């Protein structure tokens, strides 16, 4: 069984920065890509950024390119999402996810097809 635990959410002003962390545990973590989805109020969940397990390729949604940076510890079990130049439209619950797919595949999957989810952490950007 895979468990994903997020931390680092909070309230920040427009243009500010936050860093999210996700710690993954479980025997199969080493074989999974890990990433981030988010769900804004009244919206569907969407992929934000994902990193492939095999080749470390990183996918970013167009809405966050140039502002968000995803990194991973060498042990591949902790990932980070550095969010800069935050906008009110980035306000959402951010979920750590994991799946055997590649990064781009996982981040563009319908959320119902992503295998593993954390509980989420709230990010609120005030204008």
Average pLDDT over residues 67-93: 95
Q: What is the pLDDT of residue 99?
A: 96
Report residue 96's pLDDT band, with 50, 70 and 90 as the boundaries: very high
Mean pLDDT on 99-112: 94
Confidence tier at 2 by pLDDT (50, 70, 90): very high
pLDDT class for 76, splitting at 50, 70, 90?
Answer: confident
- The answer on pLDDT for 9 being more than 80 is yes
- Residue 39, Ramachandran bin (φ over 0: left; ψ between -120 and 50: alpha; else beta): beta
Give the chain's mean pLDDT: 95
| Tens of pLDDT, residues 16-34 | 999 999 999 998 998 999 9
pLDDT value at position 74? Answer: 78
- The confidence score (pLDDT) of residue 80 equals 97
Question: Which residues, including other chains, have CB under 8 Å from residue 12's CB and lie 6 or more apart?
Answer: 18, 86, 123, 124, 125, 126
């Amino acid at each position: 069984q895979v468990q994903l635990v997020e931390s680092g959410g909070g309230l920040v002003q427009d243009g500010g920065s936050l860093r999210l962390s996700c710690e993954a545990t479980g025997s199969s973590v080493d074989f999974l890509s890990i990433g981030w989805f988010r769900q804004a109020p009244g919206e569907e969940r969407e992929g934000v950024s994902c990193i492939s397990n095999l080749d470390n390729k990183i996918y970013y949604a167009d809405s966050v390119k140039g502002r968000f940076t995803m990194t991973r510890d060498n042990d591949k079990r902790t990932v980070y999402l550095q969010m800069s130049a935050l906008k009110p439209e980035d306000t959402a619950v951010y979920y750590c996810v994991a799946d055997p797919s590649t990064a781009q595949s996982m981040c563009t999957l319908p959320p119902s097809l992503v295998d593993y989810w954390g509980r989420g952490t709230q990010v609120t950007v005030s204008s």
